[in-house]
Amino acid sequence: MKKLLLCILLFTGFQMAHAQYYKTDTTTRPPQQPKSFDPSKLVIGGSLGLVFGDYTNVDVSPLVGYRFNNYIAAGVNINAQYGNIKYRDFYGNTTSRDQYTIFGGGVWGRVYPIPMLFVHVQPEYNSVSQKTTYYYDGNGNPKTTTYTTNYAVPSLLLGAGYTQAVGGRVGVSFAIMYDVLQDGRSPYQNNLIYRAGVGLGF
């Protein structure tokens, strides 16, 4: 009987010691910190376009965003453009000229199915100021007439592109996009949009 009681006490003591060790081990684990903003995941970049001649276009489009993981990045962008288009007759004389300024912005998102390729979506809302000047009347006589128009127009750019790291977190990217909304006053018209840029975090 004494041996049975001794066995029971030893077994109970072992269980209590094991329970106490387990409890102590659990409570001494460091508490998990909630996920917070990581500055190293910031995305900063944009594109700069310069074309001069009878068709002049200056395009400055900065963007900023956040790389949530290896597959998704998103943020906001600003769109600022100036354009000047000259139309000439057979003899090289300028018959009319269109000047426009575009200012607006929106949001953007990218999905990277593989590290170097991405799908890009970018809804925008732009304010357009356009001035058209005619240098001749309907009979071919010199006469300057100017018309000015101001309006706002939405666009939805969809496309895909390629990005390549050039050192550290810096990369260059090339993208082809298209305005799928095709509003009649869209500054992109029915054209493909080619963009190249340098960014941090892409």
Are 63 and 55 a contacting pair, CB within 8 Å? no
Residue 1 Cα distances to 4, 11, 12, 44, 165, angstroms: 5, 15, 17, 79, 78
pLDDT band at 178 (very low <50, low <70, confident <90, very high): very high
Of 168, 98, 158, which Cα lies nearest the Cα of 131? 98
pLDDT of 30 above 70: no
Digit-coded pLDDT (tens) for 129-150: 999 999 988 787 888 899 999 9
pLDDT confidence bin for 73, thresholds 50/70/90: very high
Instruction: Say whether pLDDT at 156 is over 90.
Output: yes
Nearest to 152 by CA among 188, 182, 186, 122: 186
Indicate the range of 53-57, 73-77, 106-110 predicted with least confidence.
Answer: 53-57
3-state secondary structure of 57: strand
Residue 12: its pLDDT value, please? 42
